[in-house]
Every structure is written in structure tokens, then in C-alpha cells.
Amino acid sequence: MNSKFNLFAVFTFSVFLTGCMSMPISTMYKMSQFSPFDMEPKDIRIALRTNQSIEVKSGAAQIFMSYSSDGNERLPAFYEEHKFNVQVQKIQNAEIPEILLDDLEDNEAVTILKLSDSDAQTMKNLLAKAKEYKAQEARGKGEFAISTENNCFGNLNNFTSLEVDVFLQAVKEDGYMLFLEDIDVIEEANNNDIDLQQTNRCEVG
């Protein structure tokens, strides 16, 4: 499952829907109004809510970000892209925000993931570059995507389906929002001819 947002000249989000998306209307609106320049990468969090029997590992979600510009008379053409494996954050249950616990079923658990310090700095540098180009009136476009296609979930052998709710905290002060709801990562893998027995390997964690 891969949810993408295109970031155009002013580097704001507009929604690009794929057939497998299950995004609340309220989230679509929030993201359409959101500027990535408001993000502090070290504060970005992705929370996954799924069956508590599943071991959610670092890399279970990924963030992709890119930015490109043809430049202008003052700035050269520019393109940069990165894919980040977000890492499991150790957190006590008492520290989990209430929105992540709302409607939590007895057999479910929440895992919170964050960017590593080095990845957060890389993303911050890219955003700063995009901001510089915008300030110099160089048109550009970019993309921000959250993906669960890496499928770094342990203990999948006994499951024929696995629904996951994905929450995003883009700005710390705004808290979490439900980003994608009831995504069946096993069904999505099957639909895309992905063999989880071969690809369900985690490089991190």
C-alpha cells in the first residue's frame, strides 16, 4: 500500500488517489491544506494499529520524499529523492496519545515509528533546499509518500489477512490523524504479486 501526495510549486500537498487507498475525507482535506514547510522531520511519527500478535519491525512503514526543479537564471536544475525506513520507537503505553487508542480492539496494539536522527536531518535539508528554490521563484514539484509495501511484519505465517490502520503526525502541535484505514497488507501484497515469504525481511531492527 502506497499513499502519495504531489508537492507542486509552492510545495503544498494535493491528493493523488490510487485504487487501493482508504483515506478518510477529513484527512484528504487536511492534507490538501497542509504545507510541508510546517514539518519538523524529527517530530514526524507514523503509528500502525494492527493485531497484537504481529511483530511490527523497523521498516514496516517507509517515507518517500522527492523534489525537483528546472531552476532559473539564478539557480541550477535540481532533483533529489530519498526513501526512509521509519524505526520503531520505544514508548510506554501511558505515553500513547488517546486518538491511537480510540476504538482499539482487545486483540490490537499500537506501534509508533519515527525517522532516525540522520534521516530526519536529510529530510530537513531537502525541505530547506525546496524552500530556497521557492524563495528564488524557481518552480518545482515534489512528492511525499507513505508506504507499507515493505511489509516488515513478523509472525505472518498464521494470517490470511492483516488489516492495519496508519496514523500520521506531520506536525507535533497538531498531533496524529488517521491517514489510512483498514489496509490489508497481505491482500495488497497478493494483488501486486509480492511473495511475503521472500520480501518480508527487515534491514533495520
Please tell me the predicted confidence (pLDDT) of residue 11: 40
Pairing of strands 62-69, 55-56: unpaired
Q: How far apart are CA 70 and CA 141, in angstroms?
A: 10
Three-class SS of residue 182?
strand
> Which residues in the chain land under pLDDT 70?
1-25, 27-29, 31-33, 93-94, 149-151, 192, 194-205
Please tell me the predicted confidence (pLDDT) of residue 156: 76
Please tell me the predicted confidence (pLDDT) of residue 4: 54
Please tell me the predicted confidence (pLDDT) of residue 140: 87
Buried b or exposed e, range 14-33, using 16+ CB within 10 angstroms = eeeeeeebbbeeebbebbee
Cell for 71?
531552476
CA angle, residues 155, 83, 131, in degrees to nearest 5:
145
Q: How far apart are CA 141 and CA 34, in angstroms?
A: 15
Task: Supply the pTM of this predicted model.
Answer: 0.82
Please tell me the predicted confidence (pLDDT) of residue 17: 35
Please tell me the predicted confidence (pLDDT) of residue 119: 97
Please tell me the predicted confidence (pLDDT) of residue 118: 97
Q: How far apart are CA 155 and CA 165, in angstroms?
A: 18
Please check whether residue 149 is in contact with residue 188, taking contact to mean a CB–CB distance below 8 angstroms: yes
Please tell me the predicted confidence (pLDDT) of residue 145: 82
Q: How far apart are CA 44 and CA 116, in angstroms?
A: 10
Owner of C-alpha cell 505515553: 95
